[in-house]
Structure 1
Amino acid sequence: MVVAELVRDVLLGWRTDNGIDTACAECAGNLRELGSQSADAGVDEQALARREPGNCGEGEMGSDTLRWYERVGILPTVRRGSSGRRQYGPQERDLVLLLTSLRDTGMSTSKMKTFVQLLMEGAASHGRRIDLLERARELLKERRRKIDQAQAALEAKIQHYQELIAAGLDCDGAPVADDIRALQAARS
């Protein structure tokens, strides 16, 4: 599902038809696999039923996180089935995916909560949502700039050491003894 569709579907409201029982919200990784389906398409409930709770990969949202997001009001309360398990429909799934992306930008949970509250206000909050997302984009750009600087520093240092090894020099530019030279290029 493309981002525009995801945002469109989230903005339409909280739809609970075609709800899926995710055994207490295993994780966004399970929901993420459904992201390529249309919001109007049926959900493969059998595939979800075979998943084990809490099997989350790196960068995915676990069941404890989903429950905490619900408790603090970031994620609206999710409908429960007769068994008491949470049932995530396409809208909830898409919101979880959006929240995962917002978290990945470094957005604070309080800003995420504000964003969800703005979603609940409907079309009247579009401008304020754009403002919040643009601020998040700027913070993300700054993080990327710092990461790029750190990578450049690492690359420069690696090249410096490779040049020292090739020339048989120590860090002060003095030649190294033959026995040290043999160790100079050794790696763990």
Structure 2
Amino acid sequence: MTYSISQAAGLSGLSVYTLRYYEKEGLLPFVGRSKSGKRAFCDHDLEMLAIINCLKSTGMQIKEIRTYIDWYQEGDATLHKRLELFKKQKEAVEEQMKQLNGHLKKINQKIKYYEYACKAGSAKACEGVIDCEA
């Protein structure tokens, strides 16, 4: 089954504009064309869009994603390169998660602080009681 760019956008959660941008940046060389010359996305293309979206959402630059797409297009000769790329991205995501968990801890401390302050009716009531400054 094939999908128009609008349908592919809806199914992928990306905008038509984003898909056109990705094509311009060389991330969609695998997308075919209909007889009339319009983009014709297939299910495999949607899977690739999900991978592209995943990589982009985890902070990978377009240039690096294009490198992955190029390696994918080259085939099995680049399997090890692709594996290393994903391992590197996994490490980056794990570091992001570590940082986000630290931020979450700080936010939870602030919530605890302000809940206590709201119950007490004053931020001064928290001094020395809650391990978090205003």
TM-score by length of 2: 0.81
CA contact (8 A) 1:21 1:81 kept: no
* Greater relative contact order (Cα < 8 A, sep 6+): 1
1:154 match: secondary structure: helix
Matched, 1:101 2:81: no
- Aligned pairs for 1:29-178 (under 5 A) are 30-32=10-12, 60-76=13-29, 78-171=31-124
Write out per-residue CA displacement over residues 11-46 of structure 1, whole angstroms, 9 at most, x where no aligned residue. Answer: xxxxxxx4x141xx12655334xxxxxxxxxxxxxx
Matched, 1:26 2:18: no
Q: Could you tell me which residue of structure 2 aligns to residue 49 of structure 1?
A: none
1:26 match: secondary structure: helix
Q: 1:127 to 1:77 in 2, by over 3 A?
A: closer
Q: 1:160 to 1:80 in 2, by over 3 A?
A: same
Of Structure 1 and Structure 2, the greater helix share is in 2
- How many residues of Structure 1 are paired with residues of Structure 2 in the alignment? 127
Runs of 4+ in structure 1 deviating by more than 4 angstroms, as ranges, are none
Q: 1:157 to 1:79 in 2, by over 3 A?
A: same
Write out per-residue CA displacement over residues 72-126 of structure 1, whole angstroms, 9 at most, x where no aligned residue. Answer: 2111063222333211122222211211111121111011000001101111111
* Unmatched segments (≥5 aa) in structure 1: 1-17, 33-59, 175-188
* Unmatched segments (≥5 aa) in structure 2: 128-134
CA contact (8 A) 1:27 1:62 kept: no
Q: C-alpha distance in 2, partners of 1:97/1:21?
A: 15
Q: C-alpha distance in 2, partners of 1:120/1:149?
A: 39
1:74 match: secondary structure: coil
Instruction: Choose 128-137 or 73-82, whichever is displaced more.
Output: 73-82
State, as a whole percentage, how many aligned pairs show the same letter.
25
Q: 1:91 to 1:114 in 2, by over 3 A?
A: same
Higher Cα Rg: structure 1 or 2?
1
Deviation at 1:63? 1.2
TM-score by length of 1: 0.60
Q: Could you tell me which residue of structure 2 aligns to residue 35 of structure 1?
A: none
Q: 1:166 to 1:172 in 2, by over 3 A?
A: closer
